Amino acid sequence: MTTRARELLAYFESQKSAAVDLLGRLVAIDSPTSDKAGVDRVGALVGEELRAAGARVTIIPQDNAGDVVRATFGPVGGPGVRGAGVSSDGQAAMLLAHLDTVWPRGEAARRPFRIEGPWAYGPGVYDMKAGVVLCVLLARAVSGGVLKPCLPVVCLFSGDEETGSPASRPHVEAEARAARYVLGLEPSNPDGGAKTARKGVGRLVVEVIGVPAHAGIDPEKGVNAIEELSAQILAVKLLEDRAMSTTVNAGLIEGGVARNVVAPRARAELDVRVPSPVEWARIETAVLNLRPRNPGARLRVEAALTHPPMVRSAAIAALYDQARRVARDAGFDLGEGATGGGSDGSYCAALGVPVLDGLGVEGEGAHAESERVRLDRIAPRAALLAGLLERVEGPEPRTRSD
Ligand SMILES: [Zn+2]
């Protein structure tokens, strides 16, 4: 371990009880994506804590989602950096997090924050309120003069990540365009490793319009939409390619009006995960070219790539190598891996900005009641991020291919 890494680690260890206290306060506030007031309360608390740590905080109001919170700290000025630390042309290091959780209102009362040994439990503790705490710790380290980032640091907190960030996405993308690189504070892989690739997420809707008829008296006059849809779903399922790690899941189905009526309508929604844009193009083309088996049926198909795949580019690999070196200096090995889940990091990566995600605190059970996070890993993860902010300048924006 280097002297500098030891210093940073010792500092963050000294902040542990303050970090756990803040984590408990964040988990105590329910913030399901659908509950704007709850997400805004979390945003207000995070904004307050960051302001108290000397960061410049802007709350970006949203009408139909939790407000986006933006905070900057670290060096101000330098070439291309305008205003109060506002980086506008690729000069900042961006930290990416979200304020919402998948847990409904009342969950924090039902299953309150609790500590058992090295673990903390509670709704959203791992995904990703522990990651939010890391941002505050870093801002405090900067204002305390402990941490000296080489670039201005911009933290962006989205308020609707768990539903694909319909409101936050433009803000995430605008910030990513102005960043040298993005560090995503989403939960790590189960082994603590960073996420250097994410599958793309596609949504398919297949709807069949048939012709209703009495199932007993004149079935030949009907066109059964459920039967047609069943065939179409199997056709789409055959597009799955496990060797390519492309998966198809028929997740929702509805249709029909009564048992003794030839179904006039049926509809299914399918989830598709793809490793690359090429795989998505293959699926999309095939799906848009589906034709009814029964010529009397009408087919309506939608295909949308809701999260682009985050492909492990050379720039992402280089960022990971640097992170691995910094982690080694801090006394641990940082692995890497891919994940099937999309996130705001996917949007940033699609712009050509190097993204290293999964840098949040180690834990397990995201989106499950067993969710928990390792309190003894808060300091090492904060030290890793601090080391990155001190050492990694990232690629020059003009060399980026976007
Ligand atoms: Zn998350």
CA of 342 to the centre of ligand 1 (A): 9
pTM score = 0.89
pLDDT, residue 190, reads: 83
pLDDT tens-digit series, residues 105-160: 999 999 999 999 999 999 999 999 999 999 999 999 999 999 999 999 999 999 99
Q: What is the pLDDT averaged over residues 254-268?
A: 98
CA of 161 to the centre of ligand 1 (A): 7
CA of 160 to the centre of ligand 1 (A): 10
Residue 20 three-state SS: helix
Residue 222: band (very low, low, confident or very high) from pLDDT cuts 50, 70, 90: very high
Tokens encoding 107: 């969950």
Residue 292: band (very low, low, confident or very high) from pLDDT cuts 50, 70, 90: very high
CA of 82 to the centre of ligand 1 (A): 31
Domains and CATH numbers, the chain: 3-198+309-399 (3.40.630.10), 200-307 (3.30.70.360)
Residues with CB under 5 A from ligand 1 (ion): 127-128, 186
Considering only 32-36, 178-182, 190-194, which range has the smallest mean pLDDT?
190-194
Provide φ and ψ at 127, rounded to 5°.
-115, 90
Rounded to an integer, what distance in angstroms lies between the CA atom of residue 283 and that of residue 387? Answer: 42
pLDDT, residue 395, reads: 83
CA of 126 to the centre of ligand 1 (A): 8
Average pLDDT, the chain: 94
Distances (CA, A) of 68 to 32, 64, 99: 15, 11, 9
pLDDT, residue 90, reads: 55
Q: What is the pLDDT averaged over residues 280-289?
A: 98
Peptide bond into 128 cis (omega under 30): yes
pLDDT tens-digit series, residues 16-49: 999 999 999 999 999 999 999 999 999 999 999 9
pLDDT over threshold 90, residue 397: no
365: left (phi over 0), alpha (psi -120 to 50) or beta: left
- Rg (alpha carbons) of the chain, rounded to whole number: 24
CA of 253 to the centre of ligand 1 (A): 27
Tokens encoding 389: 């902010």
CA of 299 to the centre of ligand 1 (A): 35
CA of 230 to the centre of ligand 1 (A): 34
User: Running DSSP on this structure, what letter comes out for residue 114?
Assistant: E
CA of 360 to the centre of ligand 1 (A): 10
